[in-house]
Amino acid sequence: MSEASTPQRHVIAALVTNEPGVLAHVAGMFAARGFNIDSLVVGRTENPELSRMTIVVGGDDNVLEQVRKQLQKLVPVVKVVDYKEAPFVERDLMLVTVATQQDHSRSELIQLADLFRAKIVDVAPDRVMIELSGDEQKLEAFIDLIEPYGVIELARTGIIAMPRGNAAPMRRKPALAGGQPTPGSEEQGGLDQGELPPG
């Protein structure tokens, strides 16, 4: 099997305008075309008119290219950034409640939390709630270690990501004469950190 057709994990960021129904519009596009979303997170930026979507999808390079093209066609999408060939930082936030029915389990869980740089954010007689952030591998490793104690409830935010430095590949909509982007068109260039705020 060639490298181009090998299924892999892709992290994509899209800068979108704050309009009613934008999330449903993007999610509907993915569903209509059969793209499987592993994670989709929407967050505000320092610009009140813009939000940032971080989308994790699985598939080969053809899937990634189709996702980028389809996102570019949506009017509320201002820019699309993929991190396929650029180093980036990703974080996932987890809250997990773990049972502490035995006397020694609470102290053991506190030690595990310290090792993973997690925080104990709530304590009850029979359980503790732990907050942990990091990449997916870190969170999955922590879950594997605490499962024997009894996971009562678990919630994760999903992936957010930002590029390291100033060299992420980018697809943007070229501006028309009036300054408006051309829907569906794209070009490649360096990432402008000022134009793509954190989200």
Residue 152, pLDDT > 80, answer yes
Q: 58 and 13, same structural domain? A: yes
Q: What pLDDT, in 10s, does the model give residues 46-70?
A: 888 999 999 998 888 888 888 888 8
Task: Give a yes or no: residue 123 inside a domain.
Answer: yes
Which of 96, 104, 116, 29 minimizes the C-alpha distance to 69?
29
- What domain range includes position 127? 90-159
Q: What pLDDT, in 10s, does the model give residues 103-135?
A: 788 999 999 999 999 999 999 999 999 999 999
Q: 168 and 83, same structural domain? A: yes
Are the C-beta atoms of 177 and 99 separated by less than 8 Å?
Answer: no
Question: Residue 94: phi, psi to the nearest 5?
Answer: -130, 140
Q: What pLDDT, in 10s, does the model give residues 21-42?
A: 888 888 888 888 888 888 999 9
Task: Give a yes or no: residue 51 inside a domain.
Answer: yes
Task: Give a yes or no: residue 83 inside a domain.
Answer: yes
Question: Residue 39: phi, psi to the nearest 5?
Answer: -155, 140
Task: Give a yes or no: residue 17 inside a domain.
Answer: yes
- Domain holding 27: CATH number? 3.30.70.260
Q: How would you label 85-113 residue by residue, b for 16+ Cβ within 10 Å and e otherwise?
A: ebebebbbbbbbbbbbeeeebbeebbebb
Q: State residue 151's pLDDT score.
A: 96
Find how far residue 157's CA is from the centre of its chain.
Answer: 8
Residue 167, pLDDT > 60, answer no
Q: State residue 120's pLDDT score.
A: 96
Cα–Cα dist 154/65, whole Å:
33
